[in-house]
A and B are shown apart, each in its own frame.
Chain A
C-alpha cells in the first residue's frame, strides 16, 4: 500500500541553523501539507500546498518557514534559522481530490 515517507526520522540541530525536512507524498496525490506537534501538545496545521503554491498557512508559519516541491516527488519544509521552540515532531500529509489526508511517520526535530 502506498505511504507518505519522511526523512530524516530524527534531526538534531543548533539554534540558528537552517534545516530542511523532506517528504515524499503518495505518488498521484495533488495536495500537500505540513503539521507539527510540540511534545505533549496538539497536532497543529502549518501549511497546505497545491498546484505549486501555498493554499493556506497558519500564524505559526512565519517568514522563517518555507515549502517547496523541487521535483515531481519531494515536498520540503525549510526552517531558515531554527529556534528552541521549533523543537517538535513535523508531519507531512498528502491527499488526492476529495479524499482524506494521509500522514507520514514524522520527523522529530530537536533544536539545542
Chain B
C-alpha cells in the first residue's frame, strides 16, 4: 500500500539551513506536500510540488523532487526559532486521500 517515510528528528543551529527528507511509494501521486504543525495547532500547508516538477522555490523554502528515487526534500534556508515545528511530508493517493508521513520534529539550537 501507499506509505511515506521520513526521519523523526532534526536539530539545526539558528541561521543554518535545515533539510528534511522523505521517501514515498505511490509513483502516480500528482501532488506532494509539506505541512507544518506547531505545538497544539492544526496543519498548515507550507508548500507543494506537482509531480512533473523537479524543484520549487518559495522564499526560504526549496522543495526538490526526485521521481526516479521517489524522494522529496524540503530545505529551509536561514532557519529561525519560529521554524521549530513538526514537518509532515505527504502524497496524494489515487483515491484522493492524502497519505502523511510520521512527521519530522525540527529543533532549533541557539
- Which residues from chain A sit less than 8 Å from chain B, CB to CB? 31, 33, 35, 41-45, 48, 55-56, 58, 91, 93, 100-106
Contact = CB atoms under 8 A, between A and B. Distances in A.
A43 B96 contact: no
Query: Secondary structure of the A side of the interface?
Result: strand
Interface in B47-69: 48
Interface of B: 31, 33, 35, 41-45, 48, 88, 90, 95-103
Given A41-B102, A42-B103, A43-B88, A102 B95 contact: no
Nearest to A56: B95
A103 B100 contact: no
A102 B99 CA distance: 14
B102 A100 contact: no
Given A45-B99, A103-B44, A105-B42, 15 more contacts: A42-B100, A43-B43, A43-B98, A43-B100, A45-B97, A48-B95, A55-B95, A56-B95, A56-B97, A100-B33, A101-B98, A102-B45, A103-B35, A104-B42, A105-B41
A31 B96 contact: yes
24 contacts: A33-B97, A33-B98, A41-B102, A43-B43, A43-B88, A43-B100, A45-B97, A45-B98, A45-B99, A48-B97, A55-B95, A56-B97, A58-B97, A91-B42, A91-B43, A100-B31, A100-B33, A100-B48, A101-B98, A103-B43, A103-B45, A105-B41, A105-B42, A106-B41
